[in-house]
Structures are given as C-alpha cells and as structure tokens.
Amino acid sequence: SLCRGTSVNLSAVLSGGKGSGYTYLWSTGQTTSNITVTPSAAGWYVVTGNDGCSPTVKDSIKINLYAPLSINKMKDTTLCFGQSLPVNMVIGGGKSTSLAIRWIPVTVNGLTPTLRPAPGSQKYIAIAGDACTIKEDTTVFTINILQPLTAGLSINPSPVCE
C-alpha cells in the first residue's frame, strides 16, 4: 500500500521485437516509459507497449492506498473544581505500524491521558499522524473548570458588646 498524498514512479520496460522504436501508452494518457503518479484513490495503472511490428503488449499494476487518518472527535466539556477527564483517543486509518498522537499542550501524552486542567479554560489539540500520510487528522476541544466553591459566614444583626 501507498501512503496518501505521496507519489510513486512507474517504469515500463519493453524488450525484444524490433529492438527499438518502442511506444508506450499509459492508462493516464502519458506516452513515456516512466511516469510519476500521485493516486487519490486505489486503482489500476495499465501500460500498453508496441514496436510497430509485434503484437501489442500490456502490463498493469494495482496501487492500494492506506485509509485516511481519523481520530475520534472530542466535545467541549465543563467540569467541577477537582474533577479530571479521562480520555480514550482512537486513531484509525493510516499506516498501522507507525500511528502516533501528538498533543498541544505538549505536557499531555498517549492515547489515554487523564486531563487535569487548572480552574479556568484549557484548550487541547490532539493530532493523529503516521509518519506517512501527508494529511493528519485533528480534534480540538476545551475543558472549562469551574472555580472552587467557597463559603463565608455573616451574622445579622451584628452582636452588640457593652
């Protein structure tokens, strides 16, 4: 399989027949012995060769692509003071032997971190990659932590001391 967004060179070699004057016709319409393709979908590439004397010959190759990268999408969340949010990030597609996740902020690591932001608002970005596919997938979400509950006492009416 080929990584999405990458190019590959295809080369056709004719031999025999007249020994010269070979012509090439690719299913892409190109007419050289070597072509470069950047497939957007899996498919067959066919080359037809001729020397003007012998019967036409054909050869083909199928190029498969890794599925597009995907990461589960997270929603913005509000938590009470002292709470944390365990997350389970799932990456799909791409080159399975090199799947990885990057986080912003960089203090977060792995696919199953427990997020413990300070009170206020914290934005998180999780980026799925595979060191192969050009287009990564990303999820962006914010965790809002409510301020801690506080208590205060008052007395009414004020005590009068004499």
The helices-and-strands tally (H runs, E runs) of the chain is 0, 13
pLDDT for 157 equals 80
pLDDT for 162 equals 65
pLDDT for 5 equals 87
Question: Residue 132 gets which letter from DSSP?
Answer: S
Question: Residue 20 gets which letter from DSSP?
Answer: S
Mean pLDDT, to the nearest integer, of 112-139? Answer: 93
As a whole number of angstroms, the distance between CA 25 and CA 23 comes to: 7
What backbone phi and psi angles, to 5 degrees, belong to 97? -75, -10
Count of CB atoms situated within 10 Å of the CB of 159:
6
CA distances to 82, 100, 124 from 138, in Å? 27, 12, 10
Mean pLDDT, to the nearest integer, of 46-60? Answer: 95
pLDDT for 32 equals 97
pTM of the full structure: 0.74
**pLDDT band with cut points at 50, 70 and 90 for residue 133:** confident
Mean pLDDT, to the nearest integer, of 91-103? Answer: 93
How does the average pLDDT of the chain come out, rounded? 93
Of the listed ranges 15-19, 30-34, 60-64, the least confidently predicted one is: 15-19
Task: For the chain, give the percent of residues with pLDDT over 70.
Answer: 99
Which contacts qualify for 147-151: CB closer than 8 Å, 24 or more apart?
A: 147/81, 147/119, 148/81, 148/82, 148/119, 149/81
As a whole number of angstroms, the distance between CA 105 and CA 122 comes to: 9
Q: Look at residue 107 and tell me whether its pLDDT is greater than 80.
A: yes
